[in-house]
Amino acid sequence: MKTLGKKIRLLRHQRSWSQEDVAKQLDISIPAFSKIETGITDVNLSRLEQIATLFGMSIVQLLTFNDTEEQEKYNNEVEVLSKKLQEREADVIDLQKKVIDLYEELRRAKVMA
């Protein structure tokens, strides 16, 4: 059951949900959900169906979910977002330079006036 817990954790992380978010949707306590993710608690069929539905999957899809494929997809998404972040950081730096240049222009204009 530990592999099922890992799959559930991966799915939860992909959706940027906290354990609290999922626990609320499953109407269970956070510690109870944590035990599901860590494999301490065995999941009965009705809970398994509830979890699968939450993630928009069938029980079979949840049980046969391939971690490596999903991890690759997740890593690709992280890579794309990381590149976008770097681009935005470069944009911010360019804007900061423009603000400094404008400030210097204003200062020079003030000195000459």
Which stretches does DSSP call E strand in the chain?
none
The predicted pLDDT at position 76 comes to 82
> What's the rounded Cα separation, in Å, for the pair 59 and 93?
48
Return the pLDDT at 67: 61
| 8-56: pLDDT as tens digits | 998 999 899 999 999 999 999 999 999 999 989 989 999 999 999 999 9
In this predicted structure, what is the pLDDT of residue 74? 74
Measured CA angle at 17 (ends 12, 21), to 5 deg: 110
Alpha carbon dihedral 100, 101, 105, 111, in 10-degree steps, equals 50
Please say whether the beta carbons of 4 and 63 come within 8 A: yes
Scanning the structure block, which residue is given the tokens 């590149």?
Answer: 83
The per-residue pLDDT for 86 is 96
